[in-house]
C-alpha cells in the first residue's frame, strides 16, 4: 500500500477494525518512511442486479456506472450543475441498486430515478435526459412530457 503523503510503498498496519454490519475492514496504516498515518477500507463488492432493457428479459446487461454517468453528463452539458452533484446522483443510484436484493432491475426504473434526480438540479438537463431516455421523437410527446415534468 503506497503512502499517500510521500509515495513510498512501505507502510505498516497499526490497527485493524471490522465493521461487520457494513461488511468493512478498516486498517490504520503508518508510513515507515515519513510517519504519515492513513486509513484504508476493504469492502466486499456487492453484486448489482442486472439491468433489463426495454422490459425485454433477453436484453440483460450488467449495470454500467460509466455509461450512466456519461448520459447524465451529456444532459448536463453547459448547464450550471457541478461535477459533484452529478457524482452524487450517480452514487445515489448505485447505492439504490446495491440495496436492491432482486436479481434484475428495469432500465425504466433507473431512468426514472435519473429524471427525478435531475429535476431537483436543473429543469433543462432533466428535459434533455428525458427526451433521450424516453425516445421522444415528435413535438407532441415532448410537449406531453414537459407538461408532466412541470406538473
Ligand atoms: Zn510516507
d(CA 81, CA 52): 29
Mean pLDDT of all residues belonging to the chain: 86
Condensed to tens digits (0 to 9), the pLDDT of residues 113-130 reads 999 999 999 989 998 898
Residue 17 CA, ligand 1 centroid: distance in Å:
22
- Give the sign of the dihedral formed by CA 25, CA 26, CA 28, CA 32: positive
Q: Dump pLDDT digits (tens) for 45-73.
A: 667 888 888 767 678 888 889 999 999 99
**How much distance in Å is there from the Cα of 87 to the middle of ligand 1?**
30
CA of 12 to the centre of ligand 1 (A): 11
Amino acid at each position: 500500500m503506497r503512502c499517500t503523503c510521500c509515495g513510498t510503498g512501505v507502510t505498516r498496519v497499526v490497527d485493524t477494525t471490522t465493521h461487520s454490519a457494513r461488511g468493512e475492514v478498516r486498517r490504520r496504516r503508518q508510513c515507515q518512511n515519513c510517519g504519515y498515518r492513513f486509513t484504508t477500507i476493504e469492502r466486499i463488492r456487492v453484486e448489482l442486479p442486472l439491468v433489463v432493457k426495454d422490459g425485454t428479459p433477453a436484453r440483460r446487461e450488467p449495470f454500467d456506472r460509466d455509461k450512466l454517468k456519461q448520459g447524465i453528463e451529456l444532459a448536463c452539458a453547459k448547464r450550471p450543475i457541478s461535477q459533484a452533484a452529478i457524482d452524487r446522483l450517480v452514487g445515489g443510484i448505485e447505492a439504490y441498486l446495491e440495496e436492491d436484493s432482486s436479481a434484475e432491475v428495469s432500465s425504466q426504473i433507473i431512468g426514472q430515478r435519473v429524471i427525478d434526480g435531475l429535476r431537483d438540479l436543473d429543469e433543462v438537463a432533466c428535459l434533455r435526459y428525458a427526451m433521450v431516455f424516453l425516445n421522444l421523437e415528435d413535438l407532441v410527446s415532448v410537449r406531453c412530457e414537459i407538461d408532466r415534468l412541470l406538473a
